[in-house]
Amino acid sequence: MKRSLKALVAGFALLCSVNVAQAADIKIGTFLAVTGPASFLGDPELKTLQMYVDKINSEGGVIGKKLKLIHYDTGANPKKAVNFAKRLIKKDRVDVIVGASTSGTTMAVIPIVQKAKIPFISMAGSVKIIEPVKKWVFKTPHTDKMAARKIFLDMNKRGIKKVGLISGSGGFGKSGRSQVLALASEYGLTITADESYGKKDTDMTAQLSKIRATNPDAILNFGFGSGPAIVTKNVRQLGIKLPIYQSHGVASKKYIKLAGSAAEGVRLPAASLLVASKLPGSHPQKKVIQAYKSSFEAKHGPVSTFGGHAYDALYLAVEAIKRAGTVNKAKVRDEIEKTKNFLGAGGIFNMSKRDHLGLGLDAFKMLEIKNGDWSIVE
Amino acid sequence: MNRYRGFFVLALIIIIAPIIFPDSYFVTVVGVTIALNALVAVGLNLLMGYTGQISLGHAAFFGIGAYSSGLLTTMFSWNPWFALLMGLLVTWLVAEIIARPILRLKGHYLAMATLGFGIIINILMVQPTHITGGPDGLSDIPVLNILGWDIDSDIRWYIVANGALLLGVWLALNLINSRIGLALRAVHGSEVGAQMMGVDIERIKIRIFVVSALFAAFAGSLFAHQQAFISPDSFSFHFSIELVVMVVLGGMASNYGPIFGAAVLTMLPETLVVFEDYEVLILGAIMMGIMIFLPQGLWVGLSQKIKPLFLNKATSSVESVGG
């Protein structure tokens, strides 16, 4: 007993002494779902952060100091996220936190960052993160609310009146579904059917037949993973000729590959990053997006919009530190809130006291799949 | 007082740790997680270690406690302590109802049934989005208050969580050393044998299942207030497995084994982060090593090896297992 106690004490002492970092660095903390069910988010996010922290350091750092990235892997587990956030704040004493790949892990740490009074920029989707506004919390990705609005605007243009909704039962699908149901009447649309499917379902023809029976003008699917691809295929297999709308959750080449020829004509809102090369030269974001795309692809392979959210989060923080000229947390927070006309990968950010995201609907492009590739509809 | 010796040593470690390392992340933050995990593991050990029944659904009871506290305090503004009691009551009812059919099963079948139960409860947390918040979870759970004293800092949570753990260990110790405890071990040894000796095995299995569920629910309620946010991910099947591993890794049928197991299993991933990409590999290797070289579990195995060096040789190995 005594011996093991001594060993324990020695172990503690060792752990406490190891992490005395150089005081001069600007410490950026992050906790991402690099492994586990949301690794498709966390992996490109971490790679992006590492790549750009190195780049900034090689160019001389920020306000004369080097950046230091401290990262932990949450595996999308909110319990772990809470402890890692505390660790970043208490033990690593970081100056700003960017990160949290999923809405669950973000929501879990909000009480902690609010209490510790540290600027926190999240890379997760849910609109709940910034509505109502929380003093120290910001985020970079477009919300499902914006996606729903963008889709509805396009439906209005095409004269669609009745929509058959089918959504995934995961967090993304559920959150999107509630936004769709809440906003539809605002755009004069009626939701004729409200079906859902499970994460691992391989056939949605039953739900789709039900939707067909309600006679909608279009089918809208909110979800990500393999579900939307199966929905798309099933719709065409059933011989339903209605237009299909997908959410920004399927904005990757993988979806087109999985759905094959059934994906032709499908429309979805997505960030400009996806169609970087097709943007007109006058587009203000074009330079930023192409630079990000080419440097990411040179090192890690095909780009996804998720890494773009990390790029935006990092640069929002870095620009704010530059303007503040210090790492004082309150001043950096104020500067993040004052962000105006920041050209990011996700859009042009204009933050304010009432808006801690700062993206307008124009940050989304309405895309249509043509010949197995994205094309812009305007 | 011999039977409480371990209890006092545990209390001493808990009290001394924050005095030596007053502002250490590993004591005041991870220490709280360890205490709550350990509390569930001690309860689960009553069922697994002493009675020989497995449960792969204990995360569900932990979750029922957490969601009772979370929902009643946020939606109906209940006093957190009433909500906690309500959580225990709900857990009691649920455990009582499912225990009867489930505990008739044995071995793999019992494992399957409890696993299924855990998954069903998890779905019940995810699906009714308008009540539980669905996968996005439940936020703004109020602070716990003891006699006008807000439990809102890490060190205060350390005191409360570890106080709860000590209470739990003390209850478990008394239970095990009572007549019921003897009956439990008899059931573990041989159900037929126990029945022959006049033990009502069905009733006693149900009772201990309920008690161990209550341990989990109590820890769950505290967890909800400590985190101020809960979501179904924290009560998944994965956590049930983790709990079982804590019990087995620490050593079954010893009250301190599960605590040791909880401490090791919670602490290891926190310390191994320095290895970055190799973290999971190293964790796996350590687990395998423990199971190969100390099959009775870390605590029981180590204490059997170390105890003779410190105590007089008269202490029999049987007693060290029981302690």
pLDDT at B238: 87
A9 pLDDT above the threshold of 60: no
Q: Kindly list the residues from chain B whose CB atom is less than 8 angstroms away from the CB atom of residue A126.
A: 136
pLDDT along chain B (323 residues), means of 10: 81 91 86 95 93 92 96 92 95 95 90 94 88 84 86 90 95 91 88 88 92 96 93 90 90 85 89 78 84 81 76 48 42
pLDDT at B310: 67
Beta bridge partners of A166: A195, A221
The alpha carbon of residue B119 is apart from the nearest alpha carbon of chain A, in Å, by 14
Please enumerate in sequence order all residues whose Cβ is within 8 A of that of B319, keeping only pairs 6 or more positions apart, or say none.
none
Asked whether the beta carbons of residue B139 and residue A3 sit closer than 8 angstroms, the reply is: no
Please enumerate in sequence order all residues whose Cβ is within 8 A of that of B35, keeping only pairs 6 or more positions apart, or say none.
B158, B161, B162, B164, B165
Asked whether the beta carbons of residue B9 and residue A1 sit closer than 8 angstroms, the reply is: yes
Cα–Cα distances in angstroms (integers) from residue B157 to residues B27, B36, B149, B270, in the given order: 11, 10, 12, 19
pLDDT at B22: 81
pLDDT at B293: 83
The alpha carbon of residue B193 is apart from the nearest alpha carbon of chain A, in Å, by 36
Domains and CATH numbers, chain A: 24-143+289-361 (3.40.50.2300), 146-276+363-376 (3.40.50.2300)
Q: Kindly list the residues from chain A whose CB atom is less than 8 angstroms away from the CB atom of residue B127.
A: 169
Decide if B294 touches A, using CB distance below 8 A. no
Q: Using one digit for the tens of pLDDT, what is the confidence trace for A24-34? A: 789 999 999 98
Decide if B233 touches A, using CB distance below 8 A. yes
Q: Which residues of B42-51 are buried (b: 16+ CB within 10 A; e: fewer)?
A: bbbbbbbbbb
Tokens 């957190």 label which residue? B80
Q: Kindly list the residues from chain A whose CB atom is less than 8 angstroms away from the CB atom of residue B136.
A: 103-104, 107, 126, 128, 171, 174-175
A90 pLDDT above the threshold of 60: yes
Decide if B8 touches A, using CB distance below 8 A. no
Decide if A87 touches B, using CB distance below 8 A. yes
- By C-alpha distance, which of A294, A285, A295, A284 is closest to A345? A285
pLDDT at B319: 45
- Residues 257-296, chain A, touching B (beta carbon < 8 A): none
Task: Considering only residues A253 and A343, tell me which one the structure prediction assigns the higher pLDDT.
Answer: A343
Decide if B30 touches A, using CB distance below 8 A. yes
Sign of CA dihedral B282, B286, B287, B289: positive
Asked whether the beta carbons of residue B29 and residue A90 sit closer than 8 angstroms, the reply is: yes
Averaged pLDDT, A302-312: 88
Q: Using one digit for the tens of pLDDT, what is the confidence trace for A28-54? A: 999 999 887 788 889 999 999 999 999
The alpha carbon of residue A75 is apart from the nearest alpha carbon of chain B, in Å, by 11
**Eight-class DSSP state of B129:** H
A132 pLDDT above the threshold of 70: yes
pLDDT at A75: 84
Averaged pLDDT, A113-120: 93
Please enumerate in sequence order all residues whose Cβ is within 8 A of that of A241, keeping only pairs 6 or more positions apart, or say none.
none
pLDDT at A20: 43
Decide if A206 touches B, using CB distance below 8 A. no
A14 pLDDT above the threshold of 70: no
Asked whether the beta carbons of residue A12 and residue B273 sit closer than 8 angstroms, the reply is: no
User: What's the CA gap between B75 and B56, in Å, rounded?
Assistant: 30
A5 pLDDT above the threshold of 80: no
Q: Kindly list the residues from chain A whose CB atom is less than 8 angstroms away from the CB atom of residue B13.
A: 5
User: What's the CA gap between A157 and B102, in Å, rounded?
Assistant: 58
pLDDT at B152: 83
Decide if A90 touches B, using CB distance below 8 A. yes
Task: Considering only residues B149 and A293, tell me which one the structure prediction assigns the higher pLDDT.
Answer: A293
- pLDDT classification of A103: cutoffs 50, 70, 90: confident
Task: Considering only residues A213 and A275, tell me which one the structure prediction assigns the higher pLDDT.
Answer: A213
The alpha carbon of residue B136 is apart from the nearest alpha carbon of chain A, in Å, by 5
Nearest chain B alpha carbon to A92: B25
pLDDT at B318: 45
**A75 backbone φψ class: left, alpha, beta (φ>0; ψ -120 to 50):** left
Cα–Cα distances in angstroms (integers) from residue B160 to residues A131, B36, B164, B233, B293, in the given order: 33, 10, 6, 24, 36
Pair type for strands A190-197 and A218-222:
unpaired
Beta bridge partners of A218: A163
Nearest chain A alpha carbon to B140: A111
Of B227, B271, B279, the CB nearest to A108: B227
Cβ contacts from A onto B, under 8 A = 98
Pair type for strands A120-122 and A348-349:
unpaired
Decide if B270 touches A, using CB distance below 8 A. yes
Nearest chain A alpha carbon to B16: A9
Q: Kindly list the residues from chain A whose CB atom is less than 8 angstroms away from the CB atom of residue B24.
A: 12, 16
Decide if A151 touches B, using CB distance below 8 A. no
Selected residue of B26, B233, B270 to mutate for chain A interface (largest A Cβ count, 10 A): B233
pTM of the complete model: 0.82
Task: Give me chain A's average pLDDT, please.
Answer: 88
pLDDT at A361: 87
CATH ID of B2-322, from 1.10.10, 1.10.3470, 2.60.40, 2.40.390:
1.10.3470
Secondary structure class of A31 (helix, strand, coil): strand
Q: Kindly list the residues from chain A whose CB atom is less than 8 angstroms away from the CB atom of residue B271.
A: 15
CB B258 within 8 A of CB B41: yes
A362 pLDDT above the threshold of 60: yes
Exposed/middle/buried for residue A218 (C-beta within 10 Å: 0-12, 13-18, 19+): buried
pLDDT at A77: 86
Q: Using one digit for the tens of pLDDT, what is the confidence trace for A196-227? A: 998 778 899 999 999 999 999 999 999 877 88
**Eight-class DSSP state of B199:** -
The alpha carbon of residue B28 is apart from the nearest alpha carbon of chain A, in Å, by 10
- Residue B166: its H or E element: helix B154-176
Asked whether the beta carbons of residue B129 and residue A174 sit closer than 8 angstroms, the reply is: yes
Averaged pLDDT, A276-296: 88
- pLDDT classification of A352: cutoffs 50, 70, 90: very high
- Residues 143-202, chain B, touching A (beta carbon < 8 A): 154
- pLDDT classification of A174: cutoffs 50, 70, 90: confident
Q: Using one digit for the tens of pLDDT, what is the confidence trace for B245-301? A: 999 888 887 888 899 999 998 988 888 887 777 777 888 888 888 888 888 888 878
- Residues 159-198, chain A, touching B (beta carbon < 8 A): 169-171, 174-175, 178
Asked whether the beta carbons of residue B26 and residue A79 sit closer than 8 angstroms, the reply is: no
